[in-house]
Amino acid sequence: MPGSSRNVLLVLSICALLGSACSKIYERCELAKELRDRLRVPAEQLATWVCIAEHESRYNTSIIGTLAQGKDHGIFQISDLYWCETGDDGGACGIDCNSLLDDDIRDDYVCARRIYRAHQGLQGNGFRAWAVYQPHCSAGQAANEAKYTNDCFGQDSSRVEEPVQRIQVDQQPGALTLYFTGFGYPYYTYQNIFS
């Protein structure tokens, strides 16, 4: 197996074992597509979530913000004072704060939606739960879309791509190639993993 293939396999194996050690810093449009296509964020909220992620974490999934009391975790900076806990029952979101620091933002978004819904009932606008909302993201849907998402999707920004998740295996004597695909583009390709 060539050295570079071994290195990729080693890094991916370590990431799988360590979980939170594998963080990600998204590009703006990459995050918008992830939220829209994979996590099914409502179109009218998409730009606001991208705005919040930019101003809370600069799209960095591993960020931990230190406050006077407690810490904020992950791409949406979720507080450990109420919403997540480390090593206990997981707070109101039922999640360990460390799981908010990896490259899988599904659990981050699920918890952020819970926070949104709680504050929607309390304040009439769930986004007010984030301190960055008022100064940076409250300009309105059209203004947020113009700044955060319009250039991410081409002409049809409302189209949601259907997820296509598939594993293709090509096996030949002495070689095995796995192709993992989703959303119309390849995620990972492993070649000769058993050599």
Which domain does 96 fall in, by range? 23-152
Element containing residue 170 per DSSP (H, E): strand 166-172
| Count of the separate structural domains present in the chain | 2
Up-side HSE of residue 36: CA atoms within 13 Å toward CB? Answer: 25
- Is residue 13 a part of any domain in this protein? no
Provide the annotated active-site residues.
56, 72
pLDDT reported for residue 159: 47
* pLDDT at position 156 over 90: no
Closest CA to 178 of 80, 186, 170: 170
- Is residue 5 a part of any domain in this protein? no
- Is residue 99 a part of any domain in this protein? yes
This prediction's pTM: 0.70
* pLDDT at position 165 over 80: no
Q: How confident is the model at residue 172 (pLDDT cuts 50, 70, 90)?
A: low
Looking at the structure, do residues 65 and 107 belong to the same domain, yes or no? yes
